[in-house]
Amino acid sequence: MNGFFATCPKGLEYLLRDELLALGAGEAHEALAGVRFTGTLETAYRACLWSRLASRILLPLAEFDAADDEALYAGVQSIDWSSHLAPHGTLAVDANTAQSKLTHSQFLAQRVKDAVVDQFRQRQGARPAVDTEEPDLRLNLRLKRDRATLSLDLAGSPLHRRGWREQQGEAPLKENLAAAMLLRARWPQVYADGGALLDPMCGSGTLLIEGALMAADVAPGLRRDYFGLLGWKQHDIALWRRLLEEARERAEAGLRNLRAVFFGSDADPRMVQTAKRNAQAAGVAGFLTLEKHDVAHAAPPPGQPTGLAITNPPYGERLGDREQMPKLYRALGDTLRERFTGWRAAVLAGDAELGRALGLHADKRYALYNGALETVLLTFDITPRDTAPRERKPLSPGAQMLKNRLEKTVRHQRKRLAREGIFCWRAYDQDLPEYAAAIDVYGREGDEPWLHVQEYRAPADVPVDVARTRLREIVRVAGEVLGVPRERIALKTRERGKGGAKYGRFDQRGEFHEVEEGGLTFLVNLTDYLDTGLFLDHRLVRAKLRELAHGKRFLNLFAYTASASVYAAAGGARDTTSVDLSGTYLEWASRNLARNGFTGEAHRLMQADATTFLRQDRGHYGLIYVDPPTFSNSKRAEDFDVQRDHAALLLACADRLASDGVIVFSNNFRRFKLDAAALEERFTIEDWSAASIPFDFARRADIHGCWLLRPHAQPSPWEHSVTRLRR
């Protein structure tokens, strides 16, 4: 089994992971703009031939430190290039760099090329030539924090180039992004159920052609005549030919059975002709019906009661004025609402504002990148209820009071939130005792937010039906004031039973949403767990960790989803170690780290009990973060009670703390009392609790406590001797 890396546009990582597993990968783990996977050479060849989502398939050849150009040159020369490339072959190098001393990617590519060429010249008296278009061997260098990874690019050129596109429009949709749109919109299931595919603004026909090839089981790489693996000296020709023959047989069978249910139109007749030529080159022209008319005249084809209407409208970036775009999107939304009842729909909108201009409530929203431009894919089920909005009942007096309070909060906080770039915050926290809930906003720049509504225990004298009515009013008011549709509001409720009120069974949707805090990206899950993955009340604590982390080794105990580790890494920590007993949380943590570009040996994830880890670990850290639960009685860990055990835990941390280090200790036990007497012999203690409470949690100033603990200066051996003599 070998390790490989498949690159892809941001936003496609989860889809690509699932695709690679289906193609035979042993393991697959998403990273930022790609997926690491294991498999045989056949697995990698299949990925080159069959992946609809990947951009490149990379085979890492070496990983080494490269703080300067000499180290880079030596690392490249440590590889025996004669086993990969013939002396008279051709070569190309792609390079990118981040957070490293070597900052010029073209210089890096040139240095790698020089190292390869010089080795051939020294050993064999001949040297490869450079061919940037279709080389025998394309190398990929990634330099991150002075650590180089040099890989062989088995694809050779981007895999979204399928080999059929002869012409394109002014702002073409890449084929792998089109495939992602179709998969997110559930096109394979729609086709299996007898539905059609329609694009009312088809442009050069990319969505329709990809949809037809997908339905016909045609390998996306079958029409390509160039792959990087073909000139590689270790290329398995027999294996490749077998895979090609298998793909041809599947394509022939699929095209024989393909239904002619693909319909497209465009207002520009030139685009209609372009789409026809591209469909002809792809071998699916006979299955497509293409016409010239604008979006206002789009309608389901006769005899097609169900299907998927999918499109990529212009965004106003290059194809038209931004001011005209909302009108176009409204026309598209009106057409879908009025004529496509019973169909699914998917629209790749330029941003959330244009998405709202459709006037439809999306069931899903996905962030996708069209080149460097972040867009949002909206999917819909067009049902009769979309055609006539219901008239809402007037708010009760209590609900009106709640609305007034929430509107006042939003009005007062809006400027500060914008000024400080805060997208995840608490909007309401039981401000009115009758409405016992917390309302948290989770969002990111340019995207519509999510709301997380968590019910508190209602007073015992409040009847159950009254509490439920008030909770429904909270959800309605929150949606109206914050402009969030019901499908983007997650609700956690308490149910009454033995032992009093407790939270009911959570949904198990496995849905994660990307949110932004402090310029960093985190995954939250609003439905499956009591906590979402990001403790909003610790926002300033995380910022403090970033401030303290520069140049230090960072240890994160009870790491949960490692948001603190992400902050420390962003602050320039030398390395991070995140310790948690839960494999689920560590997997979540790895995704948070990867999404922010923090991967590799410098960022360890350790599945262990915190106290056991401290006894066994021999490392020393300049910054230790300790945020334990109030109590734990896990069968896999030692019993823990934060009030009873915190002093022993912090003293154990002292043995792992550098002499100039800092422990940041926090917890959410509201009746907690720090055992200063037990700790003052080892630490200087700063109570940072008040300063660590964000402004949006000011009404609950006791929501957590936070202390900074610094070790006393250690006495010299001479001072120890004097102390012993005095005794």
**What does the alpha-carbon distance between residue 47 and residue 7 come to, in Å, rounded to a whole number?**
11
- pLDDT band at 724; cut points 50, 70, 90: very low
pLDDT digits (tens, 9 = 90+) for 550-562: 999 999 999 999 9
Given a cut of 70, is residue 494 above it in pLDDT?
no
Average pLDDT over residues 83-89: 95
- pLDDT band at 322; cut points 50, 70, 90: low
The full set of domains in the chain, from first to last, is 2-153 (3.30.2130.30), 175-216+258-386 (3.40.50.150), 397-503 (3.30.750.80), 535-717 (3.40.50.150)
pLDDT digits (tens, 9 = 90+) for 427-485: 999 999 889 999 999 999 878 899 999 988 776 677 878 888 999 999 999 999 998 98
Residue 303 CB partners (closer than 8 Å, separation 6+): none
pLDDT of residue 365: 87
pLDDT digits (tens, 9 = 90+) for 164-191: 987 655 557 999 999 999 999 999 999 9
- pLDDT band at 497; cut points 50, 70, 90: very low
Tokens of 200: 């009312």
- pLDDT band at 680; cut points 50, 70, 90: very high
More confident position, 422 or 726: 422
Highest mean predicted confidence (pLDDT) among 468-472, 510-514, 531-535: 531-535
Given a cut of 60, is residue 727 above it in pLDDT?
no
Tokens of 422: 């805060």
Q: How many CB atoms lie within 10 A of CB 9?
A: 22
Question: Rounded to whole angstroms, what are the CA distances from 669 to 478, 564, 641, 643, 690?
Answer: 28, 19, 10, 8, 15
Given a cut of 60, is residue 717 above it in pLDDT?
no
pLDDT of residue 12: 93
For the chain, the straight-line distance linking the first and the last C-alpha, in angstroms and rounded, comes to: 65
Given a cut of 50, is residue 499 above it in pLDDT?
no
Q: What letter does residue 514 receive in the DSSP assignment? A: E
Average pLDDT over residues 658-679: 96
Given a cut of 80, is residue 384 above it in pLDDT?
no
Report the b/e string of 228-240 with b at 16+ CB within 10 A.
bbebbeebeeeeb
Q: Where does residue 480 rank: exposed (0-12), middle (13-18), buried (19+ CB within 10 A)?
A: middle
pLDDT of residue 633: 60
- pLDDT band at 30; cut points 50, 70, 90: confident
Side-chain half-sphere exposure of 134, counting CA atoms within 13 A: 5
pLDDT of residue 462: 74
Question: Rounded to whole angstroms, what are the CA distances from 118 to 77, 102, 228, 354, 534?
Answer: 9, 21, 22, 54, 51
Dihedral of CA atoms 143, 144, 146, 149 in degrees, nearest 10, equals -50
pLDDT of residue 385: 52
Alpha-carbon 167 to chain mean position: 32
- pLDDT band at 393; cut points 50, 70, 90: confident
Across the chain, what does the average pLDDT equal?
Answer: 90
- pLDDT band at 426; cut points 50, 70, 90: very high
Nearest to 19 by CA among 47, 57, 48: 47
pLDDT digits (tens, 9 = 90+) for 259-314: 999 999 999 999 999 999 999 999 999 999 999 999 989 999 999 999 999 999 98
**What does the alpha-carbon distance between residue 542 and residue 627 come to, in Å, rounded to a whole number?**
11
**What does the alpha-carbon distance between residue 578 and residue 606 come to, in Å, rounded to a whole number?**
6
Percent of the chain, pLDDT > 90? 76
pLDDT of residue 721: 39
Tokens of 428: 């309401």
pLDDT of residue 461: 72
Tokens of 406: 């929430």
Given a cut of 70, is residue 87 above it in pLDDT?
yes
Output 184-187 pairs: Cβ under 8 A, ≥24 positions apart: 184/15, 184/346, 184/364, 184/366, 184/377, 184/379, 185/308, 185/310, 185/344, 185/345, 185/346, 185/377, 185/379, 186/308, 186/344, 186/379, 187/211, 187/214, 187/215, 187/308, 187/310
More confident position, 659 or 505: 659
Average pLDDT over residues 654-665: 96
Nearest to 331 by CA among 389, 263, 267, 269: 267
